[in-house]
Amino acid sequence: MSRDYSDLQVVPDRSYPEVVPFEPPQQTTPPKRICGLPPKRFWIIVVVVVLITGAVIGGAVGGTQANKSKSNDDTPSSPASTEAEQATTEQATTEPTKTSTSTTASLSTRTLIGPTQTLYRDCPSSNDTIYSALGSSNYLFRKRCNVGFAGSPDNVVNIPATSLDDCIDKCATYNENNKTEIASRESNVCNSVCWRHRVTGDDWPGQCFGSTIQNSTSSGFPVDEDQIECDSGAWINQEIPGRGE
């Protein structure tokens, strides 16, 4: 018996799983940390710590300097009965001449501390310099150290002074206050001074004696070199209205 078909069968189409290539899982990188903290937070903390440390150090240094300054201000000066050097510098002009201009000399002042008073002496640096009494060019006094001027024994000025300059100013003040009497010759002019510069071993420490001396055109003022206890001054441009001097 014949058959209209063969014994072969057609295998129907079947669905197979799609082949997918294998990809290993990607490893995730953990977030960066510094000392267990996120970087941003770590650096914020570092900045804050630095600022606080700087403020503390600055305050400590400032406090130390303030205490040191206060300590220096509160430290009392040690007493002394001898001469104490003092770094004081003044300016004085030498006597002008017709052939040269005036020059300046640097004066060094010493502080003399005695039992009852303090004096200020610029000798020997001021020797032979010119001092303008009362700041006026009308009263130019030549200063001499460890000598006196021989003049009238009558003192028109007899008063304590703290320095030779102070003594010269007192002499000039006397002249200002007695202009009328001096011009009419009722009173003597004060044109020389002897300032006793010692604080010990002197019967008149710091005393200012002002008197009248005569200036000679040939030999100048009469100098008494035996008066070593004096620092002196002589009025070199003396002009008294009404006296013709």
206, HSE (Cβ side, Cα atoms, 13 Å): 17
* Tokens 């008063």 belong to residue: 159
What tokens appear for 58 in the block?
């600055």
* pTM (two decimals): 0.57
CA angle, 183 as apex, 181 and 185 as ends, to 5°?
A: 65
Asked if 147 contacts 224 with a C-beta cutoff of 8 angstroms, the reply is yes
Q: What is the pLDDT along the chain (245 residues), one digit of tens a residue?
A: 555 555 555 555 555 566 666 666 666 566 677 777 788 887 888 888 888 888 878 777 777 776 666 555 554 444 444 444 443 333 333 333 333 333 456 889 999 998 888 999 999 999 999 999 999 999 999 999 999 988 777 899 999 999 999 999 999 999 999 999 999 999 999 999 999 999 888 789 999 999 999 875 555 778 888 899 999 999 999 987 666 55
The phi-psi region of residue 29 (left if phi > 0; otherwise alpha if psi is between -120 and 50; otherwise beta) is beta
Q: Which helix (H) or strand (E) holds 74?
A: helix 39-74
* Tokens 């206060």 belong to residue: 70
Q: Which helix (H) or strand (E) holds 177?
A: helix 164-177
Tell me how far apart the alpha carbons of residues 36 and 138 are, in angstroms, rounded to a whole number. Answer: 88
* Tokens 């606080």 belong to residue: 52
